[in-house]
Amino acid sequence: MGTLDLNHIFLFIAVISPLLVLARAWRPEGIFRGWRIAAAIVLAITGVAWLFFREYAGYVGGGAWFALLLLPAVGLRKASQLAAHGRYESARRLTALLQFLHPTAQVRDQLQLFQNLESRGRAGDPIQGQSTPQDRERRLRNAPAVIAFILLNVGAFCIELWRGALINPVILHRLGALDFYAVISKGEFWRLFTALFLHYNLLHLVFNLFALYVLGPPLERTIGTIRFAMCYLIAGVGSTAGVVLLTIIKIVRPAELVGASGCVMGIVGAWAGFLVRHRHVWQARQRLLNILLIIAIQIVFDISTPQVSTSAHLCGLVTGFAIGLVVAPKRTSF
């Protein structure tokens, strides 16, 4: 919850993402050397930009991150998917283009592999672990609650555009932004709910919905649609109610808040609680470590971004964690 500075977000990504790559690719041998070099270059470009033109450093570093880390990673994954379906020529062409951005031994070896497969003119066995576009569509169809919440947020944003709430804080307040004084003095408790579907701008909406799209479907498939919907809403109301409570006891200052980030952090918390409870299940501990990494990154981002409501995120996280500890799985494997 809170307004977002695009330059600051890109700067955060351009610093944290390469550091994570360096942490995961610390091994001196193997295919990781190229990723270490790319991560170091992104950090160097970001550092130089920060020294000489700080107000644009995020855009410069973000551009370097996009070109040297994100595009190669996405491109290599796409090339593997193409090869998994026997489209070796397309995979070879894509990998050849990636050589300009990521000229490493890994890309050269993969290019050679696709060339050999193409020359043989035969389809290989499907590559394990790769998902097809049909698989992704099927996963989304199995997450009706996620789709519903995405549509509700988009619909609410359209109303904001229609009413002019993005440029007029008074209208945003009338639509249901969380206001401490309105909740306590006037008893407008409905704001605890309506604020969850409002956003300050398009960037704010996109970030929250992207996080919901990534994190929501796996949890919904695991615990079921009804339980997921209840988790989303209860965690969201828990985040707004928590902010009001913290304001009453003067831990945080009164502020008008909107956004679905409390709900999203509730999903993260629910995943953490669920995995703690079912830590004996295969891969649960590894997934829990991934969730803890997400939480750590979010906390660092909140601390470094004064416009963001850290209290709302933490309250949603704690509420979701409590739900995750008690919710039962829809199926035994996840």
300/323 Cα distance (integer angstroms): 24
Residue 31 is predicted with a pLDDT of 53
How many C-beta neighbours within 10 Å does residue 136 have? 11
**Dist CA 263 CA 112 (whole Å):** 46
How do residues 144-190 score in pLDDT, each as one tens digit? 999 999 999 999 999 999 999 988 999 999 999 999 999 999 999 99
- pLDDT band (50, 70, 90) for residue 129: very low
181 part of a folded domain: yes
Note the pTM of the prediction, 2 decimals: 0.74
Same structural domain, 198 and 73: no
Q: Quick one: CA dihedral 199, 204, 208, 209, positive or negative? A: positive
Q: Express each pLDDT in 11-36 by its tens digit.
A: 888 888 888 887 776 655 555 678 88
Where in the sequence numbering do the catalytic residues fall? Answer: 261, 313
Tell me which range, 73-82, 257-266, 321-330, is most confidently predicted by mean pLDDT: 257-266
pLDDT digits (tens, 9 = 90+) for 282-310: 777 778 888 888 888 888 777 777 667 88
Share of the chain above pLDDT 70, in %: 87
User: Do 238 and 178 share a structural domain?
Assistant: yes
* Residues 151 and 114 placed together within one structural domain of the fold: no
Q: How many domains does the chain have?
A: 2
Q: Tell me, what CATH number does 207's domain have?
A: 1.20.1540.10
The percent of residues in the chain predicted with pLDDT above 90, rounded, is 38
Q: Shortest CA distance to 295 belongs to which of 263, 264, 275, 268? A: 268
Domain carrying residue 38: 6-120
Question: Per-residue DSSP letters for 17-80?
Answer: HHHHHHHHT--SSGGGHHHHHHHHHHHHHHHHHHHH-GGGHHHHHHHHHIIIIIHHHHHHHHHH
278 and 156, same structural domain?
yes
